[in-house]
Structure 1
């Protein structure tokens, strides 16, 4: 091959690499939605809600179903088209227990999810782990008359993944 042919091939390769741009938020929403995951657009990026990653009371152990979902999410996050995105893993608890204990437990839950994503190939340097304890419930922990609400508490024992929008 002559120099001009090599230069032409090199320029085509550069052009093709440029066409393989990063996923847009819309594309990520579609990809994750096609996997049966509940997602939402947020000012920070895409939030992935993991209903299968509810935790048993006082536990940070991932279920088999949770590991399967995290494998699916990991396959998207390791794609070069998502490689510039930062990932926030946010752990939560129900309202049983003191706030210090719940913050530690929620951090353990965030760590469990982050560690699973790392095991599926996501670079740990892209991940920030946070434990919020009982600060941000998505369901009432008690009924209106003050009785325990086990279903609501179960929903609050969760982890959310935020795929941060590239700047």
Structure 2
């Protein structure tokens, strides 16, 4: 069975059991995981990591793969069971460049992802866009010996989507 088939079965089960009025964090987590997204439950809500939405160096341009993934997420976020949740779109950069420049670039990345969600039907009033620059790396930008770490820097050029728990 494909991940989309599993997700569809999950959604149908919710509808049949009458539990589909509002997604719980667990249901949203399982649905997005079933679609192949790396997600984690956080005190703020459900965080969706978008490894396919890494950005090229010094760019906020979305790739075709990123557009496709964001279309899938948009489908979940426009579902009536998720439509009351707020969405945080948080942009990040690697460590090259000034803090001011990276904060602007990271906000441009968050804007690109948020705009793609809006173009897929998500109400822009639900979305908060944030640019964190190089403040929160998830991988080392340099090796322990001080040499550049291109793979780590690539992982830090990212956007995360937080589907906020309204409770």
Matches within 5 A, 1:1-150: 20-150=20-150
Distance (whole Å) between structure 1 residues aligned to residue 70 and residue 117 of structure 2: 6
Structure 2: gaps of 5 or more residues: 1-17
Residue 19 of structure 1: how far off its partner (Å): 5.2
Residue 150 of structure 1: how far off its partner (Å): 0.2
Residue of structure 2 in register with 1:152 after alignment: 152
Residue 89 of structure 1: how far off its partner (Å): 0.1
Structure 1: gaps of 5 or more residues: 1-17
Distance (whole Å) between structure 1 residues aligned to residue 100 and residue 38 of structure 2: 30
Residue 166 of structure 1: how far off its partner (Å): 1.5
Distance (whole Å) between structure 2 residues aligned to residue 165 and residue 35 of structure 1: 20
Distance (whole Å) between structure 2 residues aligned to residue 19 and residue 111 of structure 1: 34
Aligned residues: 151
* Runs of 4 or more consecutive aligned structure 1 residues displaced over 3 Å after TM superposition: none
CA RMSD in angstroms comes to 1.2
Q: Secondary structure at the match of 1:82?
A: coil
